[in-house]
Amino acid sequence: MTLEERIIASKTSIFKAVFPNTTNHYDTLFGGTAMHMMDEVAFITATRFSRQIMVTVRSDRIDFKKSIPAGTIVELIGQVTKVGNTSLKVNVEIYIEQMYAEGRELAVHGDFTFVAIDENKKPVQVIK
């Protein structure tokens, strides 16, 4: 499989409903909860790409463009954007959809860096 084919095959999309137990006093999704969901999708994407043990080592510039209200559906999309020797970068976007209306909007996006490790927790080459 080529690098491009691996990137395409590892693209990950997850849908979630935003319930009140995940929102703050403004009835919008907690920023930390959004980051947790993004890291999870990034991890799945990185693992699907490499099929190796991957650990998060960095999150870069997470931009909150729009608040995410309770009672909406969110789609999280992860895609590998860069592959290095022992690390790779995954971009994650969160889109908001109203439950009972058409359309969607980009709410949050950010980048996560992962490193491939062995059983001794030492960095190893990412399988491309």
Which tokens in the block code for residue 91?
Answer: 């971009």
Domain map (residue ranges) of the chain: 3-116
pLDDT tens profile 76-112:
999 999 999 999 999 999 999 999 999 999 999 999 9
**In the chain, beta strands by DSSP E:** 12-17, 53-64, 72-83, 87-98, 105-117
Q: Read off the pLDDT band of 127 (50, 70, 90).
A: confident
Q: CA-CA distance, 108 to 38, in Å (whole number)? A: 9
Domain spanning 3-116: which superfamily? Hotdog Thioesterase (3.10.129.10)
pLDDT at position 128 over 90: no
Q: Express each pLDDT in 1-46 by its tens digit.
A: 899 999 999 999 999 999 999 999 999 999 999 999 999 999 999 9
